[in-house]
Amino acid sequence: MTFSDVFKSSFLSNINSFSTLDVLLALGLAFVLGLFIFVIYKKTYQGVMYSDSFGVSLIAMSMITSLVIIAVTSNVVLSLGMVGALSIVRFRTAIKEPMDIAFLFWAIGVGIVLGAGLLPLAIIGSVIIGIIIVIFSTRKIGDTPYILVVNCVDDAGEKAANSLIKSEAHKSLLKSKSVSQSGIELTYEIRIKEEGTQFVNAISATDGVSNAVLVSYNGEYMS
């Protein structure tokens, strides 16, 4: 192979198979829309432990996906090889919040659409999705779920606490009951209005009840 054969290589000829301006434009928009997704994620996050690294990964995922799609669309042979290469990739990170999956697909979708050159679709779609997520995340639907832990001295205190909980809570479900020599511990999942937590004071003051603890609960809603 001579020096001139190197420059005739099909590998080097692929350098001119795409436009540098198109690449810069797609990556720039991927960064802007990825930053927009990150802001929406940070604003609407309702989990227990917020992670900045996950938010930054949304920006990187949009840009990386755009880069991969640009490479795939510029070369049909490369697209076939890329499918085989990506099929062996496995991600082991656990998704802690259900909404995190939606943000991941949003970031990947933006990268795919931008890489395909559909810039208006990516911009308009991201704005609409962002507005919908903000509206539904700030709007409280139904009553607030709580976990109520009641420590009773005897059976009389348990019955009094049960009747008071059923009368004050919209919905209540006994999750666990622990009996020991020191007393009875009851754990309820209840649904009440946010401003209606004063009844916990009444439960704690009930004869036969030693103390009551109310904890905010972010798990699944009761059916």
CATH code (residue 196): 3.30.70.60
Report the candidate in 130, 120, 165, 155 with the shortest Cα–Cα distance to residue 25.
Answer: 120
pLDDT in tens, the chain (223 residues): 554 554 455 544 555 556 778 788 888 999 999 999 999 998 888 766 777 788 888 899 899 888 888 877 766 556 655 655 555 556 566 666 778 888 888 998 998 898 888 888 999 999 999 999 888 877 655 566 788 888 888 888 888 888 888 877 778 888 888 888 888 888 888 887 656 677 788 888 888 888 888 887 655 444 4
pTM of the model: 0.61
State the residue for tokens 């062996």: 88
Boundary (domain end) residue, out of 90, 118, 138 = 138
Boundary (domain end) residue, out of 89, 113, 138 = 138
* Angle, vertex CA 53, rays to CA 47 and CA 58, nearest 5: 90
- Tell me, yes or no, whether 88 and 171 share the same domain: no
- Tell me, yes or no, whether 194 and 97 share the same domain: no
- Tell me, yes or no, whether 91 and 173 share the same domain: no
Task: Give me the sheet containing 171-180, strands edge to edge.
Answer: 171-180, 183-192, 144-152, 209-216
Is the residue at 223 inside a domain?
A: no
For the chain, the domain total comes to 2
For residue 49, the enclosing domain spans 3-138
SS3 51: coil
Report the candidate in 97, 128, 101 with the shortest Cα–Cα distance to residue 33.
Answer: 128
- Tell me, yes or no, whether 19 and 95 share the same domain: yes
Boundary (domain end) residue, out of 138, 160, 195 = 138
